[in-house]
Amino acid sequence: MSKIQVEDINRNIYDIKNEDEYAFKIQKGLNREIVEEISRQKNDPEWMKEIRLKALETYNSLELPTWGPDLSELKMDEIATYVKPKSKLNTSWDDVPEEIKNTFDTLGIPEAERKSLAGVGAQYDSEVVYHSMKEDLLKQGVIYTDMETAVREYPEIVKNYFMKCVPVNDHKFVALHAAVWSGGSFVYVPKGVKVDIPLQSYFRLNSPESGQFEHTLIIVDEGASLHFIEGCSAPKYNKVNLHAGCVELYVKDNAYLRYSTIENWSKNMMNLNTKKAIVGKNAQIDWVTGSFGSKVSMLYPMSILNGEGAKTEYTGITFAGKGQNLDTGFKVIHNAPNTSSVVNSKSISKEGGACTYRALVRIAENAKQSKCSVSCESLMLDDNSRSDTIPVNDIQTDEVEFSHEAKIGKISDKEIFYLMSRGLSEEDAKAMIVRGFAYPISKELPVEYAVEMNNLINMELKGAIG
Amino acid sequence: MLKVNRTPVRTSRNFKINNIKLEDVNIPEKVWSFKPATITSSNLVENNVAVSGLTYGLGDSLLKNVMQCANHKAKITVDKQDKDIKMIYHFDDENTNLINYIEIDAKENANVIVEYKSNTEKECFVNSIIKIVACQQVMINVFVINLLNESSNFFLAMENSLEENSNLQYTVIDLGAKNSIQNYYANMTGESANNDLQAIYLGRKNQLKDINYIAELRGQKTNVNIDVQGALKDNAKKNFKGTIDFKKGCKKAKGDENEYCMLLSDRAKSIALPMLLCTEDDVEGNHSTASGKLNEKEIFYIMSRGINKQEATKLIIKARFQKILERICDEEVRNELMEEIDRRLD
Amino acid sequence: MKTLLEMKDLHANAGEKEILKGLNLTIHEGEVHVVMGPNGAGKSTLANSIFHNPEYTVTAGSIEFEGENIQDFTTDKIAKKGIFMSFQLPEEIPGISTLNFLKFAKGKMTDRPVKIFEFKKQVEEYMQELNMNPKLIERNLNVGFSGGEKKKNEILQMLVLNPKLAILDETDSGLDVDAIKTVSKGIEMFKNDKNAVLIITHNTRILSHLKVDYVHILVDGKIVKTGDSRLAKEIEENGYAKYK
């Protein structure tokens, strides 16, 4: 059988580099002066400035993780943590400066807004340059704005929720985030309001040797529902960029949130992102995650099921190619009776890429009658690549149903033969099998992303071996 | 504090599974010779052997302890077939500390039973290394049985090397000790080597089980199967770490790993970390773990035949253990274990 | 009559082991052939060797289709030449619906885009004839199909792809009486004087529903006797002992 090569993502549209033009770029590195300067630039209220400075202390006191991918290429002294683009926050695409708008145009963002979204936010480097939402949602009391506006206009809400779901000392990069965060989205969906079409925030990091630290805070109040989509990309530079965002989600009793992410950072990106959700009684959070980009990722969305009957589903695919080390997975804490979780994870490794599925399931002592089922499958496309499965299952009580299954292997020769006997060429057969493998995930993605993902899985024969 | 039995791949410290920390365990350094040891074998048994190091093992402190203080060592070179190698360590009031090194070089087929048992109420201590080399074409069957009393400490490092076409059947029955810490490593270098590891653990009261099984598949067409069945009562706690590591070059290798933990109390704690590591594409790896209480329907069905709930529960647990226990050909040993399991489930 | 398949002195291995030891078989248009034989005689090796299954190797002899040597053809090219093989154990392919798969394969086979509406109608008609649950075409290819459903799905694919030669490998095994009738009906629907069928089986049940031209007895990698349907009858009564 011959070996296949899965083509790389056509990165042309992501790789459009704009001149590194900015209104303000903070000096590289990290110290108290830099954090104070960011705070001054952002006109922080005093309480926020305090959070930042305290977080910096925490950052300095914490060690780098002693596990997972190698982070030694990341030199904080060479990263600019704040880059203010030459644009203010706009509510009309026409007002966004030409060059920045062109970038988002190419990425299809304004187009998507017209077609299928209820609201859009767009961040360029450290600041949100565009935010808008459909009129009727505004009338129903839905708030969708950039994080800085939220700090100014809804300080009481932000104070109650900011860095409460994800504690500042969670790990070193959370502390870093809390010290230098900038941009991101704030969403509040009032009680009982159902937002039928998705909101989307798009994060673009253009500036080289810089970091993006957007903060996303979403509160879906009792009985409300929302679908939120997050997209990320950046052009490739030779030096390492850093993304250490933070996503805090509060899904109140009987509420529903679906959080979809398509992460397509360039391959010089260290993606050290943190996402957590606190889920109330009979509420549900569903995560849909596609991880395709970045050089190194450490990303483990977490659902904390605090309310009785809370549910969560995680559906994720990770696709690691040449030079990529993508360490992803899911964490769930069952903290109340009758909670349930379903995990479905897939990964594809090729051309020396490494995928790790790292996960935690914890069913606490009081979480009687809880259920959890986990399935992970890894596909190895060649023998230069790597695929590891490292799931921790911590079960602290007996009245539970817990099961975990994992599989690792290559495309089955038998399946290829079967399809070829029906007239499919070897490459068609393999492409069909890989698409079929990814299908349970791609079907959960918004349509335009699913199409994009299928296009990624275009294969060609690389020449016969043995 | 003793920090031992490192997991081969580290993960987040918050998951509390990178190693096991034990308070109040003293590693005895001055020990007398261990008298109630009986070794039976038709092959030559040497007692004066040098202790060599371990690839994984339980950690430096325990390895050093065996190297410096071992009070019972045995090396058996199996040159002629031997179906009845027995190494029995029965602890009594005078002999409570065993620092033990066993090496078996199997050039011919063999059956081996190693049993640790307390015939005393006193706290016992075992720090043991069992090393096995399964030479080409050899079929070797090993049973390790822990029946120590529940105030004892049991440390066991098993290391195995599998040559071409060898077949190693390993069975671990872990019922005893307060802290029972096991490390198992199979280095599968030989083409078509086969390793079938099956284990039972049963924890009750405050027993702690820390189980760390590692198989590295290096040779082509190697095959490993790890099957672990356990039950936890009362406040018992178990960490199971099972790693199947497909190393580069192990084309057409297969690895299966399955752990099933029956929880019999709402205070019992079970952590499982079943790992698959893979740097080769032409392999098949599967793992599954499950835990939970016994199936109510099964219990109901058995009770409808006039059996009380406790008996029904025992019946189901023993049924799950049965397949593994049946590997023990020695009927006497098997019956002894059945009785022991019965007693500990009461 | 045009010659479709011609195998001469075929030797083939399954893995390392020699299974076919000099097999000769010629099939013309309009013929129905049956190869019968005890387990291990080489029946599946025969089908898989024609189809260039990587688990089997042809070590000597020749396989020609319509006068062309097809031994070095890849499996898909053999299929495109007009040979179909039904599998004993059809693979389950998750993530692709049966209908989309059929449409895709038909497109590849004919090198023409398939008009979905007419195509679907045609497929549904076939399914009705084969007593298949119409919902099956929306399900993923063979995933979760029962044994009988899988076998019928193979016959459905044969009808849809409409080959010149259909090789049916143990299509009747594991089926109940009704399913065998349905499968036979599918073969009857397919059969005309321009194509041919090669049925590989170890029992004679399916033959009572079909008109058969030749019956070959395959024992230990060779065809030891060829006759008409009366030969199948004889095997039914006396077994293979006589030929071993």
- Residue A355: predicted pLDDT: 96
Least confident of A188-192, A239-243, A307-311: A239-243
Please report the pLDDT score of residue B219 as a whole number.
97
How much is the average pLDDT of C33-45? 91
- Given a cut of 70, whether residue A464 has pLDDT beyond it is no
Distance CA A385, CA A352 (A): 4
Asked which of A376-390, C10-24, C228-242 is least confident by mean pLDDT, the reply is C228-242
Domains of chain B: total:
1
DSSP string, B237-255: EEEEEEEEEE-TT-TT-EE
- How close C17 comes to chain A (CA, Å)? 19
Q: Which pLDDT band holds residue B95 (cuts at 50, 70, 90)? A: very high
Q: Which of C48, C91, C78, C102 lies closest to A415 in space, CA to CA?
A: C91
Query: Domain residues of chain A, as ranges?
Result: 10-299, 411-466
The pLDDT score that the predictor gives to residue B100 is 96
Percent of chain A's residues with pLDDT above 90? 61
Please report which confidence band the pLDDT of residue A457 belongs to, taking 50, 70 and 90 as the band edges. Answer: low
**Inter-chain CB proximity B269 and A380 less than 8 Å:** no
Identify the pLDDT of residue A155: 96
With a cut of 80, say whether residue A51 has pLDDT above it: yes
- At a CB cut-off of 8 Å and minimum separation 6, what does C44 contact? C14, C88, C169, C170, C200
Query: What residues of chain C lie within 8 A of the CB of A315, using their CB?
Result: none
Structural domain of C90 = 3-243
Which of the residue ranges A315-324, B67-76, B289-298 would you say has the lowest mean pLDDT?
B289-298
Q: Binning pLDDT at 50, 70 and 90, where does residue A452 land?
A: low
CB contact under 8 A, A423 and C161: yes
* Proportion of chain B above pLDDT 70, given as a percent: 100
pLDDT in tens, B189-224: 999 999 999 999 999 999 999 999 999 999 999 999
Gyration radius of chain C over CA positions? 18
Report whether pLDDT(A453) > 70: no
Contacts of A391 in chain B (CB under 8 A): 273-275
Asked if C181 is an interface residue toward chain A (Cβ–Cβ < 8 A), one would say: no
Q: Is the pLDDT of residue B38 over 50?
A: yes
In this prediction, residues A92-109 reach a mean pLDDT of 83
Q: Write down the pLDDT at residue A6.
A: 46
Residue B46's pLDDT is 93
Range with the lowest mean pLDDT among A312-316, B140-144, C48-52, C105-109?
C105-109
Residues in chain C: 244
Nearest to A398 among B11, B264, B290 (CB): B264
What is the complex's ipTM, to 2 decimals?
0.89
What is the pLDDT averaged over residues A316-324?
91
Indicate if the pLDDT at residue C160 is higher than 70. yes
The candidate with the shortest Cα–Cα distance to A229, out of A252, A258, A266, is: A258
Q: What is the pLDDT of residue A48?
A: 97
Using an 8 Å CB-CB cutoff, list chain B residues near A408: 246, 276, 278, 283-286
3-class secondary structure, C141:
coil
Average pLDDT for A95-109: 82
pLDDT band at A314 (very low <50, low <70, confident <90, very high): very high
Residue found under tokens 């480097």: A125
Side chain identity at A440, as an amino acid letter?
Answer: P
Q: How much is the average pLDDT of A356-385?
A: 94
Query: What was the pLDDT predicted at C154?
Result: 93
Residues 373-412 of A with CB under 8 A from B: 378, 380-383, 385-410
Q: Which two tokens stand for residue C161?
A: 């792809």
Cβ of A436 within 8 Å of Cβ of C108? The answer is: no
Phi then psi for A292, rounded to 5 degrees?
-120, -35
Residue B170 inside a domain? The answer is yes
Neighbours of chain A (3+ CB pairs under 8 A): B, C
Q: Which pLDDT band, with edges at 50, 70 and 90, does A3 fall under?
A: very low
- Tell me the chain B residues in contact with residue A67 when contact means C-beta distances shorter than 8 Å: 9-13, 18
Nearest-angstrom CA–CA distance, A244 and B264? 43
Cα A451–Cα A275–Cα A169 angle in degrees, nearest 5: 155
Domain count, chain C: 1
* Residue A167: partners with Cβ closer than 8 Å, 6 or more residues away: A174
The overall average pLDDT reported for chain A is 89
pLDDT score at B82: 92
Higher pLDDT, A82 or A113: A82
Highest mean pLDDT among A381-385, B99-103, C100-104: B99-103
Are the beta carbons of A422 and C157 separated by less than 8 Å? yes
CB–CB of B270 and A360 under 8 A? Answer: no
Instruction: State what percent of residues in chain B have pLDDT above 90.
Output: 80
**pLDDT above 70 (res C167):** yes
Q: What is the CATH number of the domain that holds C154?
A: 3.40.50.300
Q: What is the pLDDT of residue A5?
A: 45
Q: Measured between CB atoms, does C193 come within 8 Å of chain A?
A: no
Which region among A58-62, A134-138, B176-180 has the lowest average model confidence (pLDDT)?
A: A134-138
For chain A, percent of residues with pLDDT exceeding 70: 93
DSSP A149-207: HHHHH-HHHHHHHTTTSS-TTSSHHHHHHHHH----EEEEE-TT-B--S-EEEEEE--S
Any chain A CB within 8 A of the CB of B246?
yes
Q: Assign C48 to helix, strand or coil.
A: helix
Q: What is the pLDDT of residue A1?
A: 36
Most B CBs within 10 A among A3, A408, A410, hence the mutation to make, goes to A408
Residues 6+ apart with CB under 8 A from A418: C87, C90, C91, C93
Place of tokens 């081996």: B112
CA pair distance B87, A438, nearest whole angstrom: 53
Question: Is B292 exposed, middle or buried, given 0-12, 13-18 or 19+ CB atoms closer than 10 A?
Answer: buried
**Which residue range(s) make up the domain with B104?**
2-8+33-292
Q: What is the tens place of the pLDDT at every residue in B232-257?
A: 999 999 999 999 999 999 999 999 99
pLDDT score for A456? 57
Q: At what angle do helices A426-442 and C98-110 cross, to 10 degrees?
A: 160
Kindly tell me if the per-residue pLDDT of A112 is higher than 80: no
Asked whether residue B338 is domain-assigned, the answer is: no
pTM of the model: 0.85
Judged by a CB distance cut-off of 8 A, whether residue A325 touches chain B is no
**What is the predicted pLDDT for the residue at B319?**
83
Residue A462 — pLDDT band, cuts 50, 70, 90?
A: very low
According to the per-residue pLDDT averaged within each range, which of A78-87, A171-180, B19-28 is highest? A171-180
Contact status, residue A410 vs residue B281, Cβ threshold 8 Å: yes
Give B17-35 pLDDT, tens digit per residue.
Answer: 899 999 989 999 888 899 9
Span B171-180, pLDDT tens digits: 999 999 999 9
- d(CA C244, nearest CA chain A) in Å: 32
In angstroms, the separation between the Cα of residue B45 and the nearest Cα of chain A is 42
pLDDT at A121 over 50: yes
Among the ranges given (A133-137, A391-395, B62-66, B275-279), the one the predictor scored with the smallest mean pLDDT: A133-137
State the average pLDDT for chain B.
94
Over residues A259-282, the pLDDT tens digits come to 999 888 888 899 999 999 999 999
Residue C4 has pLDDT above 80, yes or no: yes
Q: Minimum mean pLDDT among A273-277, A360-364, C162-166, C181-185: which range? A: C181-185
Nearest CA to CA, how far is B170 from chain A (Å)? 24
pLDDT tens for each residue of B252-298: 999 999 999 999 999 999 999 999 999 999 999 999 999 888 887 77
CB contact under 8 A, A420 and C140: no
Q: Which of A421, A441, A444 to substitute to test the interface with C, most C CBs within 10 Å?
A: A421
Q: Residue B213: in which H helix or E strand, if any?
A: strand B208-217
Residues of A with CB below 8 A from B15's CB? 360, 392, 394
B332 lies in some domain: no
